[in-house]
Structure 1
Amino acid sequence: MKKLPTPTPAPLLALLLAAAFVLAGCKPAQSAGGPPQAPPVSVAPAVVRSVADSEEFTGRLEAPETVEVRPRVGGTVEQVHFADGARVARDALLFTIDPRPYEAEVQRAQAQLAAARTRAELAKAELARAEKLVSQQAISRQEYDQLASAAGTAQADIGVAEAAVRIARLNLGYTAVRAPIAGRASRALITTGNLVTQQSLLTTVVSTHRMQAYFDGSEQTFLRLRRQGGELAPVRMGLADDEGYPRQGRVDFVDNRLNAQTGAIRMRAVFDNAKGDLAPGLFARIQMPGGAPQPAVLTPERAIGTDQNKRYVFVVGADNMPQFREVKPGPLIDGMRVVTSGLKEGELVIVDGLQRVRPGMAVAPTALAVDERGMPVPKAPGGNGNGAPAPAKS
């Protein structure tokens, strides 16, 4: 007899039907997928502005005058007359050294001077009597010569004693240690009660009415300054917390030779410090203007990337495909970088989202509002900082 197939149990049949429906439901979801979504980026147009060619340098501020205050006589510090870090005038009293030993030295020198004068008067009187006696041949010529020599020696002793008095008075005056220049004093390195010598450093004083910035210029900078006929070139300076270069100054010194190894030459610019907000040692950014203003293409500094020794930007075309452009950057002006080659006016440059750009992948650009300089405007509070989507180029 032919064997009949074994019927499938009802529970197993239900399980198989449920699995089939689950697989059928997954297929439409997979078929609904597509290519990955274009990453969003922010773009801003390259602008053309009339800018003056300029060079930028870095340096440090130095005071025109820096004096180490040391005593000219030894002794015990009796009093300190200034507060640490205070501004002091020229000849202001800074320290007092115990003057009593020097007062006694002045008195001793004055007494020696008085004695010398008395001896000189006696020698002069004896010489006058000897002149009468030698004319009468009452004394020998030798005795007369001895008395004349003694009178001359006594007169010379007066000069020695007078010099000793002047030295003693000078030393007494040196017990009052005064500021050699006007400026700002450091702290008192030696306080009251300490014994000092002529090698002891009491404090330092730096001038503050002007400040100098030393920097190294290139050979081209030196040649350009020389072509100007030696005229002092104007410069601008910015500190670490300054926006741009708000301080005006002039180059007042150019060294007499270039460094053959680096091709640089030391220069110095001087700046007024009437407000007293400049201090020696501060980092300084120096900008030296060049020739007449010329039109130049600019883009925000943050739009420029670096790949080893190359500088580049990404330009978004009409198809929203980012294009890699190698550029040659120029000077930085108020956050905008001059681009001397590789970029044209009006081209949309990616300024935010460079890390999302992938080769061969389109992006979703959003144009940022820009100010009169071409700099993207910071996002408004509560907004996303983007403007309308970038229009497609025709």
Structure 2
Amino acid sequence: MTQGCDPSHRQGACARRLGGAAVIALALAGCNEPNSFAAPPPAKVTVATPLQSPVTLYAEFTGKTAPSQEVNLEARVQGYLTLIGYRDGEAVRKDRVLFEIEKNQYRDQVALQQAQLAIAQAKAANAQTEFDRQADLGQKQVSSQRSVDDARAALDAAKGQVAADEASLSLANLSLGYTTLRAPFDGVVTRHLVDTGSLVGSSGPTKLATILQVDPLHVYFNMSEQQQIAMRDALAAQGKTLRDVRESRVEPPVEIGLPGEVAYKYAGKIDYIAPQLDGATGTLQMRASLPNKDVELVPGQFVRVRLPIGKIENALLVDDTAVQANQTGSYVMVVGADNVVEQRAVTTGPVEGQLRVITKGLSAGDKVVIGALQRAVAGKSVTPVAGTMAALAQPSPASTPASDAKTP
């Protein structure tokens, strides 16, 4: 059975149908609008061209300081220690009296030997007179030849006794001299090991202290075989050889620095090269000498040593922070044509302050990324912003040629 349509019901249904149609029309109209999304602009990165500057190449070592002279002060004669003539650790001059041992018995021994020498000399004079008499009588045929020979033998024995007593006197004076110990050179004396009043020299030499010369100071370090070859080549460029260093007193410059410091403050010269490699380590021992007037360095101290082995006249340098590394080696990011970033493999050299030497892989006109490195992605476009490399570090005082350094 069909029900009749209520006019009010039909009017509400029509309104709902019109509303749905309007929504659909609006949706269709939205689909026809153009897309307004725009890609972000290229990332900004700071770039700069490499600096060009002459750079000296160095071989670097770890060295250890040592006194240029070291002597143990020992009592060579027996006796009681009567004087200590310095303060422990004091710097003293050559010939300064450092220790004295009782002298009385040694003075008496000298006096005794002087008396015995006087007796021997008197006997020798008498023997000379007797020989002259017998020789004169022998020429006159008054004295026998045997008497002359006996007189000559007595004279020779008397002269021999004089020589023996002179030697004994010299030994007595030498023993007396051993009772005073003087500084053999300018240096610093360690603490005394024996107190005043102690018996020394009773069973052999007794060590009393040690004196060290710390100005100039020595630095010992070991050079590998490969570094030795590099040094040989550097000397060859100057028309010299390792033999010249050993025999002709050619002293290559060397720079010394402390482990906690960046600069190499001290300049010296190489004054010794071992004649052969150490078979156990395959290294060659070398020694540098440097002035140490203010005793800023002390013996036994570990130091950093660098030795110039070559020079690059127009080295390329970039900020050390711009150099990155991965499993294949070191690289830098370079902005190339059309502002596209390129990952460039490079070979690095030494660090000069905040800069790193690049020996291979860059040219002077390359734009190296030095800022906003995280935005520089290989193959992506960027907006380069001009910047500058860090300033080249000024040479340290030790970079003055060591040949100009004065050593006492």
Alignment partner, residue 161 of structure 1: 165
SS in 1 for 2:65: strand
Q: 1:210 is aligned with what amino acid?
A: P
1:84 pairs, out of 80, 84, 88, with 88
Q: Is residue 2:292 matched to residue 1:273?
A: yes
Which amino acid letter does the alignment assign opposite residue 177 of structure 2? G
State which of 305, 309, 314 in structure 2 corresponds to 1:294: 314
Equivalent position SS for 1:201: strand
Separation in structure 1 between the aligned mates of residue 317 and residue 136 of structure 2, nearest angstrom: 106
Distance 1:330 1:97, change over 3 A: same
CA gap of 1:121–1:277, structure 2 versus 1, over 3 A, is same
**Structure 1 328/175 Cα, relative in aligned 2: closer, same or farther at 3 Å?**
same
After the TM superposition, which of the residue ranges 285-294 and 202-211 deviates more from structure 2? Answer: 285-294
Give runs of aligned pairs for residues 191-202 of structure 1, distance below 5 A. 191-197=195-201, 198-202=204-208
* SS of structure 2 residue aligned to 1:90: coil
* 1:172–1:235 distance in 2 versus 1, CA, 3 Å: same
Q: How does 1:28-177 map to 2 (within 5 A)?
A: 47-58=50-61, 59-135=63-139, 137-177=141-181
- Structure 2 equivalent of residue 213 of structure 1: 219
> For the Cα contact (< 8 Å) 1:219–1:265, is it kept in 2?
no
CA gap 1:103/1:303 in 2 versus in 1, 3 angstroms: farther
1:378-393 alignment, distance < 5 Å: none
C-alpha deviation, 1:347, in angstroms: 2.5
Contact in 2 for aligned 1:124/1:151 (Cα 8 Å): yes
Greater mean deviation of Cα atoms: 84-93 or 331-340: 331-340
Deviations 1:313-334 (A, max 9, x none): 674989xx99977653311222
Does 2:243 match 1:222? no
The match for 1:332 is 351
8 Å Cα contact 1:69/1:202 also seen in 2: yes
Contact 2:318 2:389 in 1 (8 A): no
What TM-score do the two structures reach when normalised by structure 1?
0.69
- Contact in 2 for aligned 1:299/1:339 (Cα 8 Å): no
Which digits, 9 at most, give the CA deviation of each residue in 1:165-189, with x for residues without a partner?
1221121112110111112222222
CA distance in 2, matches of 1:229, 1:322: 46
Distance in structure 2 (CA, Å) of the matches to 1:84 and 1:289: 43
Kindly tell me: are residues 264 and 113 of structure 1, through their superposed partners in 2, closer, same or farther at Cα, counting changes over 3 Å? same
Q: Secondary structure at the match of 1:53?
A: strand
Give RMSD over aligned pairs. Answer: 4.2
Do the aligned residues in 2 keep the contact of 1:99 with 1:175 (CA within 8 Å)? yes
Question: Structure 1 regions of 5+ residues with no counterpart?
Answer: 1-41, 354-358, 360-366, 376-394
The aligned length equals 329
SS in 2 for 1:159: helix
Structure 2 distance, partners of 1:182, 1:213, is: 19
Q: In the alignment, what sits opposite 2:368?
A: 347
Check conservation: 2:355, 2:390, Cα contact below 8 A: no
| Equivalent-residue separation in structure 2 for 1:296 and 1:132 (angstroms) | 102
Aligned with 1:202: secondary structure? strand
Aligned to 1:254: 273
1:220 deviation in Å? 1.7
Are the aligned partners of 1:312 and 1:324 in contact in 2 as well (CA < 8 Å)?
Answer: no
Describe how 1:172-187 pairs up with structure 2 within 5 A: 172-187=176-191
Structure 1 pair 125/66, CA: closer, same or farther in 2 (3 Å)? same
Note the alpha carbon deviations across 1:51-77, whole angstroms, 9 max, x for none: 323113222223322222223323222
In the other structure, the counterpart of 1:24 is none
CA contact (8 A) 1:50 1:295 kept: yes
**CA displacement at 1:118 relative to structure 2:** 2.0
Cα distance in 2, alignment partners of residues 109 and 49 from structure 1: 81
User: Which TM-score applies when normalising by structure 2?
Assistant: 0.66
* Distance in 2 separating the partners of 1:186 and 1:79: 16
* 8 Å CA contact retained: 2:96, 2:183: yes
Structure 2 runs not aligned, ≥5 long: 1-44, 241-249, 379-385, 395-408
Deviation, 1:103, is 0.9
Aligned-pair identity (%): 27
